[in-house]
Chain A
Amino acid sequence: MKPNRSLEIGTGLFVLLGFAALAFLTTQLPGSGMRLGAAQGYKVLAKFDNVGDLKAGSPVSMSGVRIGRVEAIAFDATDYRAEVTLRIEPQFDKIPDDSDASIQTAGLLGGKYVGIGAGGSETFLADGGRIEFTQSAIVLESLVNKFFANFADKGSSTGTAAEPAKE
């Protein structure tokens, strides 16, 4: 097993390649994984009644264009709502402060994302700003419940209407 220079170089390259691949897989792929480099952009807060299965790392879009990511989701015990921290990329600094944020679904199997609809205000959101108008995620079960509740209501309202006629 003669120590061979080119063999050692070859092994070194291989090991380096392997670790680079590993590093790529662990840092660049996972949404909630470790990130290289400091987060860029400014923070915007928004409160929702229900975030559905929105995750940290989910995209934030405006008019279909991705402008940032969800950085964190926390529970606010004072008003029982979810506090979502959005990190908007620095180049998108002209978002009116009366815009609305809603949680939408991408495609049939897609994940949730935050869509921002532009408002008309002249002042723009800055770091630490808050979006007041929010719309929660549409949860399928509540939709179904509502539907059946409406259906039941319709039935009983025809019943009460009939009663005064009897008198």
Chain B
Amino acid sequence: MPEGAAVAASKDAVVRVRGLHYGFGSRKIFDGIDLEAAHGRVTAVMGPSGTGKTTLLRLITGQVAPAAGSVEVFGREVTTLDTAGVYSLRRRMGMLFQNGALLTDLSVFENVAFPVRAHARLPERVLRQLVLTKLHAVGLRGAAELMPSELSGGMARRVALARAIVMDPDLLIYDEPFVGLDPVSMGVIVRLIRDLNDALGITSIVVSHDVRELASIAHHSYLLSGGKVVAHGTPAELDASPLPIVRQFMSGESDGPVPFHYPAADYHADLLGDGKERPRS
């Protein structure tokens, strides 16, 4: 599928990335990426490990600046914003980190209440209702008084999700939300992501390499490899794609366009020789 051309230039794209280039020194992480997250939809970003999916998120939240290209969020160009502008943009976003990133010295309740206390002056009763409602949405209202150290990985992630939605953001970003979860917790998170998206009418971007889970919830998926978008479309379209890289990724084959062997010297020479040959890259 040709990059860029088939992407509908939808007027209500919440996040629009065009011609993104990013890299340090000789390592080019992104070599011209075009990507869109449509309003009210779940957009998946997939790719083999190390393709810089987390970096893409950092570019969207304004934590790092691209070498070239444009990143537009809510119609505003992130790269031109000053600190205050970036902070005001972030107030409309919620982000779920891979490890939850809950504040360890606060209880579950206080963790979810944290952004509210920081940005709004609500009477304690109203705050309590807000926090408990969000906790209820993720099924953890009963755990409100626990400390993060007492939670399992799946529960911590759900609390982090409650925290991410407490300020009713317009954009939700999930960084590898399925990593390390048992099948039950996985099922819970998967359901929550889609349900929240539909119920709250927000836009979600999910970065993951869990093809199967994403297929059940994503409206539109992007596959990144080697710094470029190699394929994008609905999960069904990707599944039917004939491209070798897409096939390898979707079916989980160990060798293909993404090689099994890390670049190394000739095998015979390495074993029989004195090991001084340089690897062929």
Q: Which residues of A contact B (CB under 8 A)?
A: 1-2
Would you give the shortest CB distance from B83 to chain A, in whole angstroms?
25
CA distance A149 to B56 in the complex (A): 95
Binary CB contact string for chain B from 104 to 134 against chain A (1 if under 8 A, 0 otherwise):
0111001000000000000000000000000
> Across chains A and B, which 4 residue pairs bring their CB atoms closest together, nearest first?
A1-B105, A1-B106, A2-B107, A2-B110
CA distance A117 to B110 in the complex (A): 77
Q: How many residues of B contact A (CB 8 A)?
A: 4
Residue of A whose beta carbon sits closest to that of B106: A1
Residue of B whose beta carbon sits closest to that of A1: B105
Interface of chain B, helix or strand or loop or mixed? loop
Q: Which residues of B contact A (CB under 8 A)?
A: 105-107, 110
Would you give the shortest CB distance from B242 to chain A, in whole angstroms?
57
CA distance A1 to B106 in the complex (A): 6
> Residues of B contacting A1 with CB < 8 Å?
105-106
CA distance A2 to B147 in the complex (A): 12
Would you give the shortest CB distance from B111 to chain A, in whole angstroms?
12
Would you give the shortest CB distance from A90 to chain B, in whole angstroms?
59
CA distance A90 to B122 in the complex (A): 66
> Residues of B contacting A2 with CB < 8 Å?
106-107, 110
CA distance A2 to B113 in the complex (A): 13
> Residues of A contacting B106 with CB < 8 Å?
1-2
Would you give the shortest CB distance from B127 to chain A, in whole angstroms?
16
Can you list 5 A-B contacts with CB-CB less than 8 angstroms, sorted by A residue number? A1-B105, A1-B106, A2-B106, A2-B107, A2-B110
CA distance A2 to B110 in the complex (A): 9
CA distance A40 to B58 in the complex (A): 73
Would you give the shortest CB distance from B202 to chain A, in whole angstroms?
31
CA distance A29 to B27 in the complex (A): 66
CA distance A2 to B105 in the complex (A): 8
CA distance A2 to B111 in the complex (A): 12
CA distance A20 to B106 in the complex (A): 34
CA distance A77 to B209 in the complex (A): 96
Would you give the shortest CB distance from B236 to chain A, in whole angstroms?
49
Residue of A whose beta carbon sits closest to that of B110: A2
